[in-house]
């Protein structure tokens, strides 16, 4: 609850939990971190991993807000789908619960200081970026504690950050005309 956006998500979480508690619906809350993967049409404000790859491939301008050292965990979409399957498979345990679903500590990357050089390696050339002011409510570090999902659902990410970024880069490059 660090911003109006975060508050709106928290409100939704509470509605879902209350529907379980009051009406017995087998609801599950997933507090998802930075999800990315093929077929994601990221834009500057949402889907930052996809957005930077799309911008790099299509030559669009990129802005780094803050110092680029912000830390996020990232989760490849295939791993998110596996988490959904695990919750369904273990709905007797999962119903009424809240799970942090993100890349966790093993899939942490800085928004530009680490991601930028990786993207430059994939494109084969330096990338120009503009710097912008910090955005209100932006957290410097966010890493999901995915321990509960591992214990109760037997789930953990399988695709590491570098492999997932490379897979998304290849998809965007192959489908670059979708972003023109």
Answer for the pair 72, 125: CB distance below 8 angstroms, yes or no: no
| Helices (H) then strands (E): counts for the chain | 7, 8
Q: Per the residue annotation, which of 5, 19, 65, 99 is the catalytic one?
A: 5
Please report the sign of the dihedral spanned by the C-alpha atoms of residue 59, residue 159, residue 9, residue 16. positive
Query: Which residues of 20-129 form beta strands (DSSP E)?
Result: 29-32, 34-36, 63-65, 71-76, 98-101, 108-110
Residue 5 designated active-site? yes
Among 108, 127, 107, 106, CA closest to 117 = 127
Q: Alpha-carbon distance 49 to 167, whole Å? A: 12
Q: Which residues are catalytic?
A: 5
């Amino acid at each position: 609850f660090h911003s109006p956006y975060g508050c709106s998500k928290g409100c939704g979480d509470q509605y879902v939990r209350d529907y379980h508690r009051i009406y017995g619906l087998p609801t599950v809350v997933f507090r998802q971190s930075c999800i990315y993967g093929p077929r994601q049409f990221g834009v500057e404000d949402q889907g930052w991993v996809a957005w930077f790859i799309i911008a790099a491939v299509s030559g669009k301008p990129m802005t780094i807000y803050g110092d680029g050292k912000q830390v996020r965990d990232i989760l490849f979409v295939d791993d998110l789908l596996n988490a959904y399957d695990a919750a369904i498979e273990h709905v007797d345990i999962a119903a009424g619960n809240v799970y942090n679903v993100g890349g966790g500590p093993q899939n942490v990357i800085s928004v530009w200081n680490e991601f930028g050089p990786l993207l430059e390696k994939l494109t084969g050339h330096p990338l120009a970026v503009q710097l912008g002011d910090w955005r209100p409510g932006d957290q410097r570090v966010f890493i999901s504690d995915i321990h509960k999902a591992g214990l109760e659902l037997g789930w953990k990410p399988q695709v590491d950050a570098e492999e997932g970024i490379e897979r998304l880069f290849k998809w965007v490059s192959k489908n670059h005309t979708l972003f023109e």
